[in-house]
Amino acid sequence: MVSTSHDVEESWDDEFQQLVQTFPKDKSFTGMNLYFFQGFWCPSIVLKAVISCQKHFQAFDSDIIIATLPKCGTTWLKALTFSTLYRNQFARENNPLLTYNPHSLVRFIDYDFYFNDTCPDLENCTLYQPRLFSIHLPYASLPTSIKNSNCKIVYLCRNPMDTLISFWSFFSRLRGEGFEPVSLDGAFEMFCQGINEFGPFFDHVSGYWRASQEKSSKILFLQYEDLKEDITSHLKKLAMFLGVPFTEEEEKQGVVEEIAKICSFENMKDLEVNKKGVQTFGYPQETFLGKIKTYEIPREAFFRKAKVGDWSNYLTPSMVVRLEKLIQEKLENSGLTFKLFSKTSNDITSTE
Ligand code: A3P
């Protein structure tokens, strides 16, 4: 059960209604209403929260922010960053990931903290220190204090073909639970036009890519396919970036491999906590959204196939040609490339 765009919009006061009337509006292929705001398509359900966090969120220099587009591996990156950053704050056999979904351990600034509260108290809002948050906003729309402080951002992107299929499959799975996704043809068309949650896709990726090129000590730019190919070296890179490099002793003890294993898709999807129940977003406390219910997603929906190249089971040859052209056009001269297939047999290789 989730709050619908309609529920949310009904709860907006007159002043906010008037403000949003100045924004272009469309419907995403997920069935959610989107408003074009600051150059990106913001889901109506979180628009008010986005504006609040932009006004009020105060980053600490020590904060770590995980930034992603939905369906690019947010759940995985939350697990990896949480386990790496806080590894000395809990016993190895008691990793909270064994009993909590990653979305409970690393909360969204936009979808959680500001969802029901214009100005939440975030001084001591996370279980461990330093504070670790997550966000879907494009780089240009991040709260100013995130951009201007010394806090660090870990960005994870994924090739657009798998992102689209993961997105479309996720919302198709949630059909009737507040989402009414359109056919894959319709979804493909809208994705190519850039009309999807926090899209255009290429603007989101390029924004963080450029920022990471300019400020490499502030922004670590990661790609899902690279993590799938070699998780160990990327975990070491992540730990180094976070300022908590693995010691020689830890490496000898196999701590890196242990984290990779606990966060692996195979392990996480089979944990009791991830097989049942719903993940609640937003805090069910005093709410400016009035009668709006908290936002809930069945936990097992976050774990589908986790394959690189799964798009090849869905997209037609003409869709592939169009997306390939778009990739070329949008990323030309940027130095950024995507891996559409994997080299490892666990995933789908181009020769299959
Ligand atoms: P698929 O739909 O291709 O299977 P997000 O977490 O941003 O919502 O992204 C969801 C995607 O990440 C889904 O991809 C999901 O299966 C995959 N995923 C979830 N947990 C993962 C993990 N531990 N390792 C790798 N991929 C994972």
Structural domain boundaries, residue 43: 19-331
Neighbours of 216 (CB within 10 A): 11
- Can you give the pLDDT at residue 293? 55
Whole-number Å distance, alpha carbon 37 to ligand 1 midpoint, is: 27
Examine residue 58 and state whether it is found in any structural domain, yes or no.
yes
CA–centroid distance, residue 76 to ligand 1 (Å): 6
Task: Report whether residue 103 contacts ligand 1, using a CB cutoff of 6 Å.
Answer: no
Q: Separation of 269 CA from ligand 1 center, angstroms?
A: 10
Q: Ligand 1, residue 75: give the atom nearest the CA.
A: 6
Q: Which of 268, 320, 297, 225 is nearest to 82 (CA)?
A: 268
- Using the Cα atoms of residue 51, residue 151, residue 72 and residue 250 in order, give the sign of their dihedral: negative
Tell me which DSSP letter residue 120 carries. -
pLDDT tens-digit map of 286-343: 444 444 456 789 999 999 999 999 999 999 999 999 999 999 999 999 999 999 998 7
User: CA-CA distance, 95 to 87, in Å (whole number)?
Assistant: 8
CA-nearest residue for atom 19, ligand 1, is 303
The reply to whether 42 falls in a domain is yes
Residue 145 lies in a domain: yes
Check: CB of residue 26 under 8 Å from CB of residue 36.
yes
CATH number at residue 136: 3.40.50.300
CA 308–ligand 1 middle distance (angstroms)? 10
Cis ω before 24 (30° cut-off from 0): no
Does residue 173's CB lie within 6 angstroms of at least one atom of ligand 1?
no
- Regarding the beta carbon of 5 and ligand 1, being less than 6 Å apart is answered no
pTM: 0.96
337 inside domain: no
Share of the chain above pLDDT 90, in %: 78
Q: Which of 76, 231, 268 to mutate to test the pocket of ligand 1 (most atoms within 8 A of CB)?
A: 76
pLDDT confidence of residue 291? 43
When pLDDT is averaged across residues 95-115 and rounded to a whole number, the result is 93
Whether 214 maps to a domain, the answer reads yes
Is residue 106 a contact partner of residue 85, using CB atoms and an 8 Å limit? no
How many domains would you assign to the chain? 1
Question: Does 124 score more than 80 pLDDT?
Answer: no
- Say if 338 falls within a structural domain: no
Confidence of residue 280 (pLDDT cuts 50, 70, 90): confident
Is residue 340 in a domain?
A: no
Pocket flag, ligand 1, residue 72 (CB < 6 Å)? yes
Q: What percentage of the chain carries pLDDT values higher than 70?
A: 94
The strand pair at 278-281 and 219-223 is best described as: unpaired
Q: Is residue 14 a part of any domain in this protein?
A: no
What atom in ligand 1 is closest to the CA of residue 162? 3
